Chains A and B, each alone.
Chain A
């Protein structure tokens, strides 16, 4: 009986596996036979049957089934139509390669239509998570055991209690031990089978532990529990809520800073083209969009030709985006803007026309749909800081924004090019007399502003749509930041972006997203009345002209 599944293996493989198989078979023949019987029921199973199979596997307690369950969760388990045998399957070109569910050895290769997927849904994924948690409590890996503890904490399944208690007794690692105890407390707190004193103790532990998952567990304590349990529950909940409120404020600030960094990136290029050069560059948003599309193009090339480089795709895309957007910027400056200096409002009209053309150009080349720009692994996910969730992509964008700002500031203040830029914007005629090639400096300045917009596009592609409309959604906000901060001053853009970001995020919980934004706009309008040239105004006669 135990040998039956092996019969379908090709003879050569059988021979190669012989020694290993014999060893395994001797150790776990009966357990495996049982496991295989259970797995075989998955063929053409409806959701409730699949769920039952998982529960049975968990009850059988055979840890070697864990990899199979992970594959099932990922939708990689198929059954062969010819004999209803269940396998792990991987797509190989147009076929499926079938692997044995327990040993993972390759068994067969069949056409696309010869195998059917064992379908899973959310309920089944949850069941698998719970089963895996039970099965991996004694895994040799610390992370796996921690994940199992976390899962048990969230599930609060009383049937897992004996296994958990046993694992707790075995456990040596202090962090895992704490996690197990927490999970045990969560189960006990909500279990009606536990004694009231056990429950009160468990609840107190959860209250000390804190966090929204503890809150979740505590809230699940049924209202029919004894009075002392309920009293403990209330006080623990109140305690957690107090600490969560403090963390909430911190989280608000973080979110505001993060929004500010996005605004800063979007606006800082404009601070150069508009603030320093006086060109009302309505195509600024489209330059940002070009940066985002450059990122997309780079990722496409990498996906096709060098998938291994995907994690560094953004590092490759950033300089390219700078060059693409900067190049287009130089072209706009040489082709259009240079004829319009001293007439800033007319640059508005011309660049508006350019923005329409660029939008339609991208739409014609890449199509009107959103394009997928993936997050490299180091920009995906989040980590917990106390009760705050900080996502990696936002953290990196903040760092990136500050880095771009610092570089730009250094460029403007410390390099000959920066010196010339400032000279030309302060007094063009005088600068020309001193031998500065004003035309070249204009082109470089505009190109710099445009290039920085392209860099912003690389960052924005990580959090927003990459579509031809990308630029449009940032242009108004960018102008607000620059005007609020004071045109012509990079520090102004920095202060403006973070002020507006934090203000927005503080208003949002009270007023809602829409009203919050309106209030910020009204605030800007009123603020400009008070300081007609923004937060960091340049003083002097040059301003009036």
Chain B
């Protein structure tokens, strides 16, 4: 008697896992198409990702109101990976193999994407990744609906050069996205004739909150008689104290403009933007875009969240495009089977919210317009520049020596994410 009770205690872990696993099996059989939502709802990334969970719920609700997909209702399956990277992999596995979702929309940070990649590859499912990232990746099961560096960073630098900037501060948080983006930009600037001493590169840790020294450094770097600009790849949370320090130390956009790649409407909602008017951001979407599609989207969003103060931002638009592309691809394929969808989605087009029509490219990136916006005192951006056409996402940068010869094309016959045009071989797919 005693023994069995103890045994029970020790075996509880195994038992409970088995029980929930089989419990979920039963209800995975029902007649709906499941869509996984893999965004952190707690921990450090909740600040950015919770909104994306909400937008996915809204899109799924809208699709259901339109009659669902293939005659079935869509059913969202929301889990919380809690900003914990190994937990992302675990939750992805759970979504695919236990909840049997047809596609997953999720991840924000590069590391969370890297963490789930092998899972999607192994279990052959679909991931739509909505955030601008460092590129250098093209995976069969992943669709990159955010910007690659050539869809954000390079046009932004071009714009500043047009405005007469000759001296550059590349400031970023020390992780892979800023590192790669800055490597690309450094090469790009040097290629266009900027001297090495006119480029200053600075990295700070995550959540850096004391910016006195760095803002001081930027000011003194900017007093060398040449027009100076800051290209900021500072990550989400650290931006608020950075901009507060900039504003207080009186760095005005007319003296030293800051162009940011990770600051959108959501981030500005936490700051008094009056001292920041004129600082820039480069995105593929701004809430202020003046199109009927965008107006409708914002109205729906306010209705869905029951809050007409909620802002919209670029990754939300990426999910909007990605979700619509997936819906179209599933309709074209007539099934949610991942292999069929992967084949049918290349070339699928979906309207974006800035008046254009985005297309899924063979390298699983999409075409997007590049917009430059200036911060306004109401926390919105005023669009001051827009690329004439849409820019196709480049998975492998032309400004990094090792990735220059690589291309990605997931159509047959190539079916390769890293084809080396010099050796004529498909790289590491083995």
Contact = CB atoms under 8 A, between A and B. Distances in A.
- Whether chains A and B associate is yes
A100 B219 CA distance: 39
A363 B278 contact: no
Contact of B204 (A371, A375, A513): A513
A469 B203 contact: no
Interface string A454-496: 0000000011111111001100000000000000000000000
Nearest to B204: A513
A217 B217 CA distance: 18
Nearest to A240: B223
A369 interface: yes
B384 A258 contact: no
A508 B223 contact: no
Given A372-B272, A513-B214, A467 B204 contact: no
A72 B42 CA distance: 44
Given A119-B384, A212-B223, A382-B250, A465 B270 contact: yes
Contacts, number: 154
Interface stretch (B92-100, B109-117, B182-190, B239-247): B239-247
A33 B272 CA distance: 40
B386 interface: no
Interface residues of B, number: 57
B209 A381 contact: no
Nearest to A190: B225
Nearest to B219: A212
B249 A391 contact: yes
A514 B267 CA distance: 23
B382 interface: yes
B421 interface: no
Contact of A154 (B42, B43, B174, B255): B255
A422 B270 CA distance: 41
B163 A213 contact: no
B108 to A, nearest CB: 12
Contacts of A401: none
A122 interface: yes
B226 interface: yes
A252 B374 CA distance: 32
A122 B163 contact: yes
B159 to A, nearest CB: 10
A273 interface: no
Interface stretch (A123-131, A174-182, A519-527): A123-131
Nearest to B214: A513
Interface string A248-292: 000110010011001000000000000000000000000000000
Interface in B15-68: 41-44, 46-47, 50-51
B124 interface: no
A463 B46 contact: no
B382 A213 contact: no
Nearest to A213: B223
A374 B255 contact: no
Nearest to A127: B254
Residue with the greatest number of chain B CB neighbours at <10 A, chosen from A122, A371, A469: A122
A380 interface: yes
A47 B374 CA distance: 14
Given A212-B220, A514-B203, 20 more contacts: A119-B384, A122-B253, A129-B254, A255-B210, A259-B212, A370-B47, A370-B237, A370-B271, A380-B247, A389-B219, A389-B249, A393-B244, A394-B248, A462-B244, A463-B241, A465-B209, A466-B270, A513-B204, A513-B213, A514-B174
Top 5 closest A-B pairs, CB basis? Answer: A370-B270, A219-B225, A220-B225, A216-B223, A391-B248
Interface of A: 47, 74-75, 119, 121-123, 125-126, 129, 154, 212-213, 215-221, 244, 251-252, 255, 258-259, 262, 359-360, 363, 367-372, 374-375, 380-382, 389, 391-394, 462-469, 472-473, 504-505, 508-509, 512-514, 517
